Structure 1
């Protein structure tokens, strides 16, 4: 029994691999280690995974390479789950580089589903979607049954296209699929392009912190350990006759201003806040309904924003000085 994890050197992929490896699972990771953000962080994550004897890494691009040639016949027969987290991230980056999102998020999804059809022992494919698909939806909290046809960014378009691709492959090939709409996942070893990480870096370096205008600017922040708990529990429960979509969030939206205040406290420095208009690609508020996932599994996010940011800040200060 082997779990194939794409995006294994990415934040969510790495964190999930650590949990699986620690539990004794055999894991094959895939990552192209691209330079969207500093590959040194990805390599540092990967070094931790490679310390496990039950981990193997394949440094390939799923949107380009022939995946069937990457695995031995034995590996193809042994893969029982796919956790597909490889993606091109970045809401604002998608405005400037839309073709990169087509390649990674749409073509990459097709490549994984084509591979999945040829794995005889496969039981479940869990793939990463995003809260961004809710776009300009004004109904709160965001529910999986809401309309998602008013995207606010091309990143959202690419993620919704991946969901529709999954729906089609289930219809045509009966693949067991679950899509997870992640809401602002944060924590140690996180992505340096995300706001909380950028805020921390600016605060510690004494540079201005850019905060978007709007008294109601808020996010449903999800601590990484809580997200991994949900991923592992869902992975073990493949759907029988439908394609599932599930929100992964905290169901406790927080003002972004409070996020900055907590970072100031844990990093020991005041932020020089500069207000700026919010870009049209960024939504003002996110809030995850958790009714669907809680009907499926006994899962409740356990980490408060204060606790999560304290853990992140300790890691951040250590990593910056390493």
Structure 2
């Protein structure tokens, strides 16, 4: 199919993903850091899953949430990476309309799911620090399973209208998406119709998922910090805060790039399109890569178990 604009595409059979606009000649080189990030994400998250599964002492709420996050990161990065690689390496830029909508659904639902898991982890830290004697009775295994199921249902249902909204619009201007992902607004912006309902729904989902999650996390950590500062000794305060440090690091790695990207999209009209696309790609790949590294290094139980595995293999 030609890269030129096409008209009268009431329902295009395929879209064309341009990759990084203006940097086609550098696609192979650009793919190298993304391949490294994906490899680290897969290795790190599978390592977290393996360690938690094989170590009975880690069968608790916090580590179950680690596993939920690892599975979410694996699905999210694997949803994005294969098509990105086919564009960068083989210039395979066509994507079926239905496949594009499927990728859109998985990207938005699992990104929102990751945010929900961070909120659930904040709840776990709040109960563990503010109500330690009740932690085992409040966050039981069935309760953790219910929280996980609620996150899946919430994000799965809220992301479901995205592909249906995108499918209903007539596409009569072009079928060229100026990036390598089928994000909701990137697709519906190609429609020759009033797409305000798609835009408003996207804002509603952002607020009702990530907005409310951020509010819940902030409120939880205000209570946590109050409890920490009320401890009698400095050593106790440092030790208790250390149990939250890995969670705070991954929260910052997840939300700060998204906040920066949101500001860039709204106020960075003079920024080149390829910069927008690169930054969007990085913020989708960074958390799946960083999360297992942060939890592996900052969580003593996981780090000790990982060292035992290496020592055992080396002996």
Q: How high is the TM-score relative to the length of structure 1?
A: 0.28
Q: Which has the larger radius of gyration?
A: 2
TM-score under structure 2 normalisation? 0.28
Instruction: Report which of the two has the higher share of helix.
Output: 2
More strand by share: 1
